[in-house]
A = this chain, B = another copy of it.
Amino acid sequence: MSNINEVAKRAKVSPMTVSRVLNQSGYVKEETRQRVLAVMEEMNYVPNQLARSLVKQKSMTLALIVPDITNPFFTTVARGTEDMARKSGYRVIFCNSDDDFLKEQEYTEMCLLLRVDGIIMAASGDRSKANLERLKKFNIPLVCIDREVKGIDTDLIVGDSLAGARALTQHLIDLGHRHIAMVTGPLSISTSRERLQGYKETLRQNGIDYRDDYVKEASYNQQTSGQYLDDLLASTPRPTAIFTANNFVAAQVVRGLRERQIRVPEDLAIVTFDEMEPYCAVAEPLLTSALQHAYNFGSLAVQLLMERIDGVPIAQPRRIVLNPDIVIRRSSGEKL
C-alpha cells in the first residue's frame, strides 16, 4: 500500500504538499493539486489513519459499550450514536459487554489502547464502577447512559424510570387491578431499582399493600422464566397483573405464560418497559409499555461527548432525564 512519500515523489512535490491536498489546508496551486490528485488515484493511495491519529493526538473514534447489542433498546441506541457521530465525522466502535464485568473491563482497556476520543457506556452493573473510574483517571470524555452507577459522577442520560413505573402501575390500578406482581431485572442495575421503587410508591399511594412475594428478580442469564412464574401464580390471591421491568424480562414472562397456557390479557394483564420491535412485531399480544426513546439516548450522548471533546472544559457532570411515553396496547386488557 503506497504512502504519502511515494505519492509525493511521483508527483514531484514534497510530502507536505500532498498532505495539503489531502486535507485541503494551506495553499496549493490548482495545477499542482490536480497533478497530485491524479497520482493518488493512479497509485491507489489511501492515507493511513493510524499515522494521522498518532500525530494529531486524536483518533476520531468513539466507543459504545453496551451490555447486549441484540437487545432492541441498545440496538436503537447504537443507531442514534452512529448517526450522530457520523455527522461529526467520528467513527464508533461497538462493544458488547454481555453484562459481564470482565468483558467490559477488556473493552475499557481496549478503548485506552486505541486512544478513543470518547466513550458511551451502559454499565453492566454497579461493579462497573471500577471500569468507569479507570476511564475517568485518564480524563477521557465519558457519558453513561440508561443505567446510573453508584458512587461515580459522570455525564449521564437516563430514562425516567420512576415516572414510567408509576404510570404503568397506576394504569393497572385504574383498570381495577389490586393484585399486581412485578418481575424486575437484576437489582444491581439502577433502572431495576428505580422501577421497583416506582411500583412500590404507587401501590402505597393507592392504599394497596405491598407484598414481597409479589416481586421476583429475573436474571439475564436464565433464558426462561423458570421457577418464579410458578411461585407467582401459586400466590394467594393470585396476581391479576404483572409489571415487567424491561423487554428482556417481558419476553421471558410472555413465553412462560404461553407455556402455561395462560392468556394475556384475559387471564393476566401485562405492562412493561421498552419495546420488542422490530423482529418481535410478531409478538402477541402487543404490550402496553413505557416506551423509551432509545435513539435519543444515543444521539444525545454523542452530543454531550462532542461538547467535552471540542469545547471548553465543563466542570460539572450533567444529568439528562428522558421521559418515556406510555403506550397503551392490548396486553393490559380492559377495565375489570
Q: Which residues of A contact B (CB under 8 A)?
A: 1, 44, 46-51, 53-54, 59, 69-72, 75, 78, 82, 91, 93-94, 96, 109-110, 112-115, 137-138, 223, 247-248, 250-252, 254-255, 258, 276, 278-284
Contact = CB atoms under 8 A, between A and B. Distances in A.
Contacts of A252: 281
Contacts of A114: 49-50
Contact of A69 (B46, B78, B93, B276): B78
11 contacts: A1-B115, A50-B54, A50-B115, A54-B54, A69-B94, A70-B75, A70-B278, A72-B279, A223-B278, A251-B279, A258-B284
A280 B283 contact: yes
A223 to B, nearest CB: 7
A284 B44 CA distance: 53
B137 A44 contact: yes
Given A48-B115, A70-B70, A280-B282, 13 more contacts: A44-B137, A46-B138, A48-B113, A50-B114, A51-B54, A69-B94, A70-B75, A71-B279, A78-B96, A247-B279, A250-B282, A254-B282, A282-B283
A115 B109 CA distance: 21
B91 A94 contact: no
